[in-house]
């Protein structure tokens, strides 16, 4: 079976789309299926990570002069028509399944690719556009069939909700141990800070300044961060561990008693391991996820970090309730459910 992923990563859009596709691709690879990634050569991309995992990568050229008033097209670095033409040229042989994870690409793009592939799966979070596909995956909490009324084909198979969240297998593997640990936790000692791969706004630095002493702090970001040297300098002689390019996030979340982090797909990782979170909304597309998790009681959206941290530290019943609600959201087995579709 030949499976192609059309997905990007960059300093602007982050790495979340690529990471969830990579989790699914790794499962296909374990099933001895052929996987290929088609990715635009955008600034700050993480295609080397895909290659390291043993997947083929085809890169599309970048037009350094391309600009668009549409945020997602600006991230894409091309018009939909240009991207479709380049993707069609990059595809070789019979493609059994094309998996598309890109906010800029809608039904007009999918229609252009139809003749080149047997089946199309779209991974979506926004339900804000027309989509032409055979399978549609929205892994977000509270996503529902009505969201796609008159936007997706009537015969489209809908995979909706956090049971389909695309997490790497280590999260499901450590889930039982993590939930047992939460039951026996008596105080918040270890805090994990993670504001996304590149953290271009340098929120990690602001957070570290406001957390204060008395905790074991681990801060995680990628080598793409333009501020990593500043963070490393600040952490010297303090009880702060800096990790650049962590490949053991599940273990780090297991060890943590509390996360301070951004929204996005990492929210499901934290939920799988029952890790309470003080959540920052760092992009518009994270807003609904954050509000849904807040409504459930799994996170606290940060208004004033010092005050919010003080509240959860001094109210352990609140911490326990957040953990209990978070672990109900996601069991970490979504990849296996999606890979058999």
Q: Looking at the structure, do residues 145 and 244 belong to the same domain, yes or no? A: no
Class of residue 320 by CB neighbours under 10 A (exposed 0-12, middle 13-18, buried 19+): middle
What would the 3-class secondary structure string for the chain be? CEEEEEECCECCCECHHHHHHHHHHHHHHHCCCEEEEEEECCCCCCHHHHHHCCCEEEEECCCCCCCCCCHHHHHHCCCHHHHHHHHHHHCCCCECEEEEECCCCCHHHHHHHHHHECCEEEECCCCCCCCCCCEEEECCCCCCHHHHCCCCCCCCEEEECHHHCCCCHHHHHHHHHHHHHHHHCCCCCEEEEECCCCCCCCHHHHHHHHHCCCCEEEEEECCCCCCHHHHHHHHCCCCEEEEECCCCHHHHHHHCCEEEEECCCHHHHHHHCCCCEEEECCCHHHHHHHHHHHHHCCEEECCCHHHHHHHHHHCHHHHHHHHHHHHCCCCCCHHHHHHCC
Q: Are residues 145 and 233 in the same domain?
A: no
Of 99, 130, 160, which marks where a domain is finished? 160
Task: Say if 292 falls within a structural domain.
Answer: yes
Please compute, for residue 66, the number of CA atoms within 13 A of its CA located in the half-sphere on the CB side. Answer: 18
Report how many domains make up the chain.
2
Decide: 4 and 117 in contact? Cβ < 8 Å.
yes
pLDDT averaged over 10-residue windows placed end to end, the chain, 341 residues: 96 90 98 97 94 97 94 96 97 93 98 97 96 97 94 97 96 98 96 83 91 92 82 91 92 98 91 98 87 96 96 96 97 96 81
Torsional sign, CA 20, 21, 25, 27: positive
Q: Are residues 75 and 154 in the same domain?
A: yes
Indicate if 91 and 218 belong to the same structural domain.
no
**Which residues have CB under 8 Å from 128's CB, separation 6+?**
none
Quick check: 35 and 56 in contact, CB under 8 A? yes
- Confirm whether 341 is domain-assigned: no
Domain annotation covers residue 210: yes
Q: Which of 133, 160, 187 is the last residue of a domain?
A: 160
Task: Tell me, yes or no, if the pTM score tops 0.75.
Answer: yes
> Is residue 338 assigned to a domain?
no
Question: Domain range spanning residue 237?
Answer: 169-327
Closest CA to 279 of 269, 294, 265, 296: 294
One domain for residues 209 and 155? no
Is there a single domain that holds both residue 127 and residue 228? no
Specify if 336 maps to a domain: no
Q: Tell me, what's the pLDDT at 166?
A: 98
Same structural domain, 156 and 207:
no
Q: Judging by DSSP bridges, how do beta strands 97-101 and 56-60 pair with one another?
A: unpaired
Query: How far apart, in whole angstroms, are the C-alpha atoms of residue 236 and residue 76?
Result: 38
Q: What's the CATH number where 191 sits?
A: 3.40.50.2000
Q: Say yes or no: 10 and 156 in one domain.
A: yes
Q: Which of 160, 195, 216 marks a domain boundary?
A: 160
CATH of residue 119: 3.40.50.11190
């Amino acid at each position: 079976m030949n499976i192609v992923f059309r997905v990007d990563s960059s300093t602007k859009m982050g790495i979340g789309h690529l990471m969830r596709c990579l989790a699914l691709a790794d499962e296909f690879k374990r099933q001895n299926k052929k996987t290929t990634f088609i990715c635009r050569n955008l600034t700050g991309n993480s295609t080397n990570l895909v290659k390291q995992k043993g997947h083929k990568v085809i890169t599309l050229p970048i037009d350094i002069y391309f600009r668009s008033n549409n945020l997602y097209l600006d991230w894409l670095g091309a018009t939909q028509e240009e991207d479709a033409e380049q993707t069609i040229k990059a595809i070789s042989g019979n493609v059994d399944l094309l998996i598309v994870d890109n906010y800029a690409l809608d039904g007009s793009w999918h229609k252009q690719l139809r003749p080149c592939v047997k089946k199309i799966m779209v991974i979506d979070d926004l339900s804000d556009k027309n989509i032409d596909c055979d399978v549609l995956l929205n892994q977000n909490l509270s996503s529902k069939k009505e969201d796609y009324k008159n936007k997706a084909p009537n015969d489209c198979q809908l995979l909706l909700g956090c049971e389909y969240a695309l997490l790497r297998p280590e999260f499901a593997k450590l889930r039982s141990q993590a939930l047992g640990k939460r039951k026996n936790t008596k105080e918040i000692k270890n805090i994990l800070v993670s504001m996304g791969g590149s953290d271009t706004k340098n929120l990690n630095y602001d957070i570290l300044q406001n957390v204060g002493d008395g905790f074991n702090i681990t801060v995680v970001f990628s080598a793409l961060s333009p501020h990593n040297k500043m963070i490393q300098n600040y952490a010297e002689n303090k009880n702060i561990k800096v990790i650049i390019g962590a490949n053991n996030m599940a273990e780090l979340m297991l060890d943590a008693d509390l996360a301070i982090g951004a929204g996005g797909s990492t929210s499901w990782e934290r939920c799988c391991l029952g890790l309470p979170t003080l959540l920052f909304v760092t992009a518009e597309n994270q807003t609904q996820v954050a509000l849904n998790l807040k409504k459930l009681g799994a996170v606290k959206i940060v208004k004033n970090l010092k005050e919010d941290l003080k509240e959860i530290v001094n109210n352990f019943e609140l911490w326990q309730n957040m953990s209990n609600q978070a672990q109900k959201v996601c069991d970490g087995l979504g990849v296996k459910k999606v890979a058999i579709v």
